[in-house]
Amino acid sequence: MIEVIYNENSEDKSKGKTSLRLPKNIRQIGNTEEDFKIYIEDYVVTFLNQLTEKDLSKIRVAILMGDAVENEGRYLFISGAIYVEDVVVDGEGVHFTDNIWSRIYENIKEYFDTLEIVGWYLSVPGFPIEMNENIKKVHINQFAGNMKVLMMHEPIEREEVFFRYENGIMKTISGYYIYYEKNNLMQTYMIDHRSENEEEIRKEEKADTATKHFRSLVQEKQEEIHKRKIMAFMYSVSSVLVMIVLIIGITMLNNYDKMTNMEKSLAILTKNAITEEVEQKKQEAENTQLEDGAQQTEENEDVAVSAGSGNLHAVAVETISGNVEPIANDNQQAADTDSSGNTEISNITEAPIATEVPAVTEAPAVTEIPVATEAPVATEPPKETEQSEEAAQASTEPQYYVIEKGDTLAKISIKVYNTKDMVSKICELNGIEDVDKIFIGQKILLP
């Protein structure tokens, strides 16, 4: 709503058949009509607002008191209001009984004997302001006349609308004026009504105190029940948590044992693998040394063979030239100095020389001499040395055994050594702590 505050000149509005004094200090609410203007005093507005703000859940009804003036227009002045108590309001409308009217007239006589009834007031909290047939019927029956109004108020949204009956309809008046003047009548009524209301308020407060006490007791009991439920729930949850922790602890212990056994097995396998790798490297080093020794032996044999063939060639040359004795003597000396069986070679060479000297010119005698190289006596000792080295190597090489299904250390000891006494040595050599913890496919060293 648009509010405009201004002062009207009473002289301009006082023209007409009768003198009319308009209020000077006024405030305009909404858009007013030219032929019908409503002025409501500020004390009345204050009283009606206080009446409805006490309890926004109740419907309030009041009688509007004032003056109606016709002078080149119609003017309605509202300067008093009487609260209607115990009025019945239902779906059929507002019911004004005779008892209610009796109390209304008593208040009029006591407080507003110089004023007349100019309409009524209806406050309906939470409902939109609109006219219906029941309200219209109440207005026509109880407040007949085109100078009487109905002021409907919605206190939550703070909206108010005036209605007046004209030509068979309830016409809406959207604008009015609030004026400010000294109003002794309304002040007296408000003071007296406030004392009565204070007694009612005290009664209501006492009732509210008992109600609040009862509600507090109920609430405390509910809170206690709620706490008990929470404690029971927490106890159940804690019990479940304890069970879960126990289960987890047992599982971890079992897993720890399994992990420990697995670590031991891995350690044994790692140790066996390292041992096998070390032995393999040793074997490779020994094979390399044997190959180097065999190569050196072959070189020595080649040197010996070449030396032997040179001597034979010299013997053959001396034989051809006829110097038999010196050659024989030389061969004899060679035989004497050779302690490893070269005498046979000298004997072999002496026999052909003694028998075949006359046939000096024959070539076959020369070609048969190299045959003596087919029996290299000097090479026989290295073969014996090689055999002894192979035997020594075979004796030093580590022996392994791959565990098969159904094997035990006792069975392996009996199978290899024909006795069970080697079980402890097998365990010591392979780092086996438990004789029963061996695996299929595991490779172990044999002592």
Average pLDDT over every residue of 338-349: 40
Cα–Cα nearest to 321, from 367, 376, 360: 360
Q: Taken in order 379, 383, 388, 393, is the CA torsion positive or negative?
A: positive
Distances (CA, A) of 76 to 32, 177, 178, 326, 341: 12, 10, 12, 182, 168
2: pLDDT strictly greater than 50: no
**Better pLDDT: 385 or 315:** 385
pTM attached to this predicted model: 0.43
Rg (CA), the chain: 70
Average pLDDT over every residue of 293-304: 62
Q: What is the C-alpha separation between 51 and 188, in angstroms, rounded?
A: 16
Q: What is the C-alpha separation between 203 and 198, in angstroms, rounded?
A: 9
Q: What is the C-alpha separation between 365 and 105, in angstroms, rounded?
A: 183
* Structure confidence at residue 236 (pLDDT): 86
Give the residues across from 326 on adjacent strands.
none
Distance of CA 247 to the CA centre of its chain: 24
**Better pLDDT: 196 or 431:** 431
Helix (H, G, I), strand (E, B) or coil at 112: coil
DSSP string, 151-198: EEEETTTTEEEEEEEETTEEEEE--EEEE----HHHHHHHHHHHHHHH
Q: What is the C-alpha separation between 151 and 123, in angstroms, rounded?
A: 8
- Tens of pLDDT, residue by residue over 34-58, are 889 999 999 999 999 988 887 788 8
* Structure confidence at residue 256 (pLDDT): 82
**Better pLDDT: 348 or 75:** 75
* Structure confidence at residue 235 (pLDDT): 84
| Terminal-residue alpha carbon distance, the chain | 114
Average pLDDT over every residue of 283-293: 79
Q: Could you give the dihedral angle defined by the CA atoms of residues 232, 237, 238 and 241, in that order, rounded to the nearest 10 degrees?
A: 170
385: pLDDT strictly greater than 60: no
Q: What is the C-alpha separation between 120 and 59, in angstroms, rounded?
A: 13
**How many other CB atoms are found less than 10 A from the CB of residue 195?**
9
Q: What is the C-alpha separation between 84 and 335, in angstroms, rounded?
A: 166
Q: What is the C-alpha separation between 79 and 65, in angstroms, rounded?
A: 6
Token pair of 155, please? 């206190």
Average pLDDT over every residue of 175-204: 78
* Structure confidence at residue 199 (pLDDT): 54
* Structure confidence at residue 253 (pLDDT): 82
